[in-house]
Amino acid sequence: MPDSQTPDSPETVVLGQPTVGDEELAAVAAVFKSGWLAGAGPVCRRFEERFAAAVGTRHALSTSNCGSALYLGLRVLGVQPGDEVIIGDYTFPATGHSVLQVGATPVFADVRPDIWCADHQHVEALITPRTVGILAVDVAGQPGDFDDYRAIADKHGLWLFEDAACAAGATYRNRPAGSLADLAAFSFHGRKGITAGEGGALVSDRADLIDHARKLHTYGIEPAHGREGSRELTIPAFLEAGYNFRLSDVQAAIMNVQLDRLPDLLATRRGVAKRYTEGFADLEGVDVPVVLPDREHPWQSYILTISPEIDRGEVALRLRERGVQCNFGTYASHLQPVYGPQPSLPVSADIFARHLAIPMHSNLTDAQADRVITGVREVVTQLS
């Protein structure tokens, strides 16, 4: 959910902003002194160990971004041209793109109207003999109905892959996002809850999948750090064509600090979300996000649903004029031309037309959040 806005004055309340400081700078300086700045080095390995523990899995692989993690996951799951992969429709198209990139066909499932994740009943209705798996998206960070997805996958002999791009710190029935499927992919883009500007991770309990992905993400061979200390001149063999999808140790150093910050970052975002929800509770023409009682939301975004009688574009224009950044939510993927003609998915199409993301990050002050609340209330009232 990219932000096209640029702060034009000190008074602007920005849509998204990373929380970084002296600790991250010190971690980067330590990497500079070590001499290993490249990807897949010792700092990456340390981050991978810590991140796997944080998300409740046995293994993690740091990657250049979430898109590369999604692609690697599909490759090691054995997805082939002609296969079909069912995807929750309401998502940034990187999800669908990853399926196209391995030559398979994305099949989009409509979503629940409350939490915007894939409707498990529609997922099951879409299964055909060509279906090989389910790629379920944690929309804005809140996980979907993973017990239902797992039951469907097991019933039909499918794999289950979690797109947890926005979900660091989320839980589903007391299980961390990332541990809910055979594989999961995370993003560390600048708008995410923890960030190195860019970056990603692929996590799993299955060593075979992560080991294969590790070779693919380094051109098809074991990364150089894994050969460090050998008393022999080890010359690796390229058994398949791979890629350069590595996270640098500079970025991994930042991510180690961000992982330390995660509890505080989540607490701040949840405080802002609570303030917003209370501030909009009685506002007609706007619905606030739904958080289900059996899951914890990390609040990568806070997305309002605007009444169809109110011009969302005009709301956005007037908020921006007041110095409050905002944007649409994310995409109804089936409407994007890259995927060709698709069946109608009315729930996803409806929320795509009515969602409005307002500022959400860990640097928001109470005064800024109150400015957002006041601005939204005044603009919506004027247009109602």
Residue 360's domain is classified under what CATH number?
3.90.1150.10
Range of the domain at 145: 22-258
| In a shared domain, residues 141 and 286 | no
- Domain final residue pick, 258, 278, 298: 258
Is 33 a residue of the active site?
no
| In a shared domain, residues 169 and 272 | no
| In a shared domain, residues 86 and 210 | yes
> Measured between alpha carbons, how far is 106 from 93 in angstroms, rounded to an integer?
11
In the DSSP assignment, the letter for residue 51 is H
| In a shared domain, residues 97 and 228 | yes
| In a shared domain, residues 254 and 275 | no
- Domain final residue pick, 207, 224, 258: 258
Instruction: For 351, list phi and psi in degrees, rounded to 5.
Output: -70, -30
**Tens-digit pLDDT profile for the chain (384 aa)?**
334 444 445 589 999 999 999 999 999 999 999 999 999 999 999 999 999 999 999 999 999 999 999 999 999 999 999 999 999 999 999 999 999 999 999 999 999 999 999 999 999 999 999 999 999 999 999 999 999 999 999 999 999 999 999 999 999 999 999 999 999 999 999 999 999 999 999 999 999 999 999 999 999 988 876 656 666 777 888 989 999 999 999 999 999 999 999 999 999 999 999 999 999 999 999 999 999 999 999 999 999 999 999 999 999 999 999 999 999 999 999 999 999 999 999 999 999 999 999 999 999 999 999 999 999 999 999 999
**SS3 of residue 59 by DSSP:** strand
**Domain total of the chain:** 2
**H or E element that contains 202:** strand 200-204
Position 203 in a domain: yes
State both tokens at 336: 């994007």
| In a shared domain, residues 194 and 268 | no
Position 41 in a domain: yes
| In a shared domain, residues 277 and 245 | no
| In a shared domain, residues 182 and 54 | yes
**Catalytic: which of 33, 155, 192, 215?**
192
Residue pair 131/150 in contact by the 8 Å Cβ criterion: no
> Measured between alpha carbons, how far is 357 from 191 in angstroms, rounded to an integer?
12
pTM exceeds 0.85 for this model: yes
